[in-house]
Each structure stands twice: as structure tokens, then as C-alpha cells.
Amino acid sequence: MLGYFWSILDPLVMAGIYWFVFTVVFKRSVGEDPYIVFLLAALLPWMWFNGAISDCTRAFLRESKLIRSTRIPRTIWVNRLVLSKGIEFIAAIPVLILFAVFSGATINADAVFFPLAILIQAVLTAGVGLIVAPLVVFFRDLERAVKLILRFLFYASPIIYATSDLPKELHFWAAFNPLSGIFSLYRAAFFPGELDWFIVSVGAAMSVAFLGIGLLVFSRTERAVLKEI
């Protein structure tokens, strides 16, 4: 119960800060109303992605003893992280609904795409995790690099803003960040205008590609990882 509380608190505090900065301090020109729902609809799934990937950097190093003596399929050590953070996300959805109800946002029919967004995000997160986890074993510096990249990605993804708030010439390129499509699918449940099938399909294709590359990297490095840990 306490663990659940902490997993919710982190995104809530973040959302609270951004909400304050962008609606009270600055005069907000991005996103949609109510802004807190707009924020949370992307911030909660971001926490899933961010948490799973940063845990993946230690997936092999932390459990090395256990991994060295068990022969279960090694992808489990990555997938369990993706799954546990995913469950935390799903458990946080009621909080999102609560905020939507109290701030007067309306939930529309596009909410049926929520499971699709979860699926695409699971594919993407597992794919990136399968790339990151084995490589960190060989290049320990990568752990810090990943943290930096994640922080960059937070601002490079439509979390505090929407893809449509970007300059026109960047729209096309933003689609190649798979998180753009995923977040637009989540947000469509409250803001139908956020749904852009071009961005979603490019994001889905990129996610599948990431999973493919991840499986390839993982199977190619598995031997060496087992020797190293």
C-alpha cells in the first residue's frame, strides 16, 4: 500500500510543479484545458517508460548472482521490469480518472484506444530495455548516459506540451519519437483533437523496430553477458 502511494506521489508532485509553473507563473499557450489532466495523461505513462528503462540499466548487475545460477530465459530479467512498472502505471489510472472527474474533463469514445497505447508502449519499452540492459554490462558509463538521454527525452517528448505546439516543420520529425504517438493515443481519451494517426502509426512502426533490434542485440550479446557478470 505504501509502495503504491510512493509510485503515485512522484508523478503527482511533478504534475503539480508543472501545473503551477505553466498556469500560475507563466501564461500558458500550450496544451489543452484542463491542463492538469493533459499533463497527467502523458506524465504517468512517461513514469512507466522512464522507470523501466532506468531500472534496466541495472537489470543484470543487481541480480547477477541469481542470473548466474538460473537458466530461465534471460529476457525475463528485462521483461519483469517492464511488467512491474507497467502494472504500477495501470494502478495509477484511477488517479488520472479522479483528476479528470474533479477538473471537469470529459472522457470520450477514443478511450477505447487506451489499451492499444499500453500495448505499443509495452513493445517500445521492452525493445529499448533489451538494448540497454546487456550493453550496460560492457560499458558501465552507459548507465549515466542513459540517465542523461532520458532527461533529454522528457523535454523532447510531448509531455508538458502537445506535438501540435511544435513549429510546423518539426511535426514530421516528432513522429519518429515513438512516445509522441503513444502519448497522443492516451490523450485522445480526454482531448479528441490530440489524436493524429500519422504520428501513431509511425510511432507503432518505430516501436516494433525497437523490439526487433532489441531482440537481436540481446541474443547476440547474451553469451558475453553471462561470462561478464
Residues of the shown chain interacting with another protein in the complex, contacts defined by CB under 8 A = 63, 65-72, 138, 220-224, 226-227
Minimum CB separation from another protein for residue 13, in Å? 29
Which residue lies nearer to another protein by CB, 120 or 135? Answer: 135
Which ranges of 110-196 does DSSP label H, i.e. alpha helix? 114-138, 142-156, 168-174, 178-188
Which residue lies nearer to another protein by CB, 95 or 213? Answer: 213
Minimum CB separation from another protein for residue 150, in Å? 21
Which residue lies nearer to another protein by CB, 27 or 71? Answer: 71
Cα–Cα distance measured from residue 148 to residue 144, given in angstroms and rounded to the nearest whole number: 6
Which residue lies nearer to another protein by CB, 131 or 206? Answer: 131
Which residue lies nearer to another protein by CB, 142 or 166? Answer: 142
Which ranges of 157-196 does DSSP label H, i.e. alpha helix? 168-174, 178-188
Could you tell me the three cell numbers for 201?
502509426
In order of 106, 112, 123, the CA distances from 119 in angstroms are: 24, 12, 6
The DSSP result for 39-66, as a single string, is HHHHHHHHHHHHHHHHHHTTHHHHTHHH
Q: Quick count: other Cβ atoms within 10 Å of Cβ 83?
A: 15
Minimum CB separation from another protein for residue 135, in Å? 8
Minimum CB separation from another protein for residue 65, in Å? 6
Minimum CB separation from another protein for residue 127, in Å? 17
